Chain A
Amino acid sequence: MSRLDRAEIARMVAADIPSGSYVNLGIGQPTLVADYLAPDSGVILHTENGMLGMGRAATGSEVDPDLINAGKVPVTETPGTSYFHHADSFAMMRGGHLDVCVLGAFQVSFTGDLANWHTGEADAIPAVGGAMDLAIGAKQVFVMMTLFTSAGAPKLVPECTYPLTGLSCVSRVYTDYGVFLVGQDGVEIRETYGIEEPDLRDKLGL
């Protein structure tokens, strides 16, 4: 099987989300996961700006400036939607009520440390949003990312060099070349795509 594209990664993440889960999809690539959740999955989407039961993106006359997602894109309601204020929304995260969150990442360490909010460059404007709250709060944190930077450097690393978002918080990493289980015991490769496992281990230093 060849290397996965972004849509295929999203499809794989969606297939691994248990039915009936409360799920937060981070802004950017993780929002693609919503497109691959089966309509009968019973998955309920949370958005940090105060909504459970988020539906698909709004189009045409559905667009309502008071109804947006965390990426500030207009969205729709589903039957059974609820709205709440920010302290309640983040209590859902920090209190351990969300089953799964899916985040993008600059780097993930072999033990599940996450770096996804700041490149640390001198002229970068830091912006953390809800990333640190999600990272430590959701019962399971899945990361989806390309396994290598455009310069070819691995993003699954022994230790993160970018500023951290959270310690030992990621449980699975979905990438174009494979799916990895990470944690206190290190990395387990669940499957590979477009590369043989020994070659992948070699490239990552596993």
Chain B
Amino acid sequence: MTTLCETEDEAVAGIGDGATVLIGGFGTAGQPMELIDALRRGGATDLTVVSNNAGNGSHGLAALLKAGQVRRIICSFPRQKDSFVFDELFRTNQIELEVVPQGNLAERLRAAGAGIGAFYCPTGVGTPLADGKETRTINGRDYVLEYPIHGDVALIKAHQADTMGNLVYRKTARNFGPVMATAAALTVAQVLTVTEPGSLDPEAVVTPGIFVDRIVAVSSPAVLAEEGAAG
């Protein structure tokens, strides 16, 4: 059963210290800025964040990092031209980093959502990111054993929801939303509009409502150009 929340603060209520938080987005596309702001206001600390990047500019995820609420981040591509908040925290040993190949990040989330215990994967074989991991040769090819990433909560952004929690996304802002929605004990989606059941084409629903616990309408979300972007 999906709950329609009145405010972003209500949507993130109950996220406690030490939680593992999956945060959607690729750069700023699909990053649930307003939910992250609410999480920051809520004051939870010692968080583990799982997200493709480690924040852009000084808003959204970057602001959560800056507030000192994140102990550890699991991501594929922390270093970007506008990741100055993360860079400073990392260089002064104020945050732990686990770098995960992007496909492993997606598949480990997918595995968590699908009840898979672990999987053998060809990515990273023979590289430092496979150090210490179990490997196996299957039909002549080498694979690395990878484990799921479960979230206590997922914060994602979609384009539209109905009150059943069915979600549709927009263009490349979809990215990690659908897999993260399946991988957390509590999934919270911010959307532009919430409409009545029957208003979405059932054939076009990307995330079925069974994966979505709370939705909140953010009708005019922040649209952030990359700060300091130089092409």
Contacts and interface: CB of A to CB of B under 8 A. Distances in A.
Interface stretch (A1-9, A67-75, A148-156, A187-195): A67-75
A84 B30 CA distance: 13
Nearest to A167: B126
A127 to B, nearest CB: 4
Interface in A133-154: 133, 136-137
A84 B174 contact: yes
Interface stretch (B34-42, B101-109, B211-219): B101-109
A111 to B, nearest CB: 12
Interface string B90-127: 11000001011111111101100000000001111111
Interface in A21-57: 47-51
B17 interface: no
B175 interface: yes
Contact of B174 (A83, A113, A133): A83
Interface string B172-204: 111111110000000000000000000000000
Contacts of A165: 127
A52 B124 CA distance: 24
A128 B77 contact: yes
Contacts of B224: 65
Interface stretch (A12-20, A89-97, A176-184, A198-206): A89-97
Interface in A100-122: 113, 118
A87 B178 CA distance: 9
A125 B87 contact: yes
Contacts of A50: 26, 172, 174-175
A60 interface: no
Interface string B137-152: 0000000000000000
Contacts of A86: 26, 52, 102, 105-106, 175-176, 179
Nearest to A47: B172
A48 B105 CA distance: 13
A53 to B, nearest CB: 12
Given A67-B171, A136-B123, A164 B99 contact: no
Contacts of A90: 102-103, 106-107
B91 A68 contact: no
Given A130-B102, A167-B125, A85 B174 contact: yes
Counting from the closest, the 10 A-B pairs by CB-CB distance are A90-B103, A133-B103, A86-B106, A66-B173, A85-B178, A127-B79, A167-B126, A129-B77, A72-B27, A132-B101
21 contacts: A49-B175, A50-B26, A51-B172, A64-B171, A67-B29, A68-B29, A72-B226, A85-B176, A85-B206, A86-B179, A87-B109, A90-B103, A94-B107, A94-B121, A127-B80, A127-B99, A128-B76, A132-B124, A133-B102, A133-B103, A136-B125
Given A90-B102, A125-B90, 11 more contacts: A67-B172, A86-B102, A125-B87, A129-B101, A131-B101, A132-B127, A137-B122, A164-B127, A164-B128, A165-B127, A167-B127
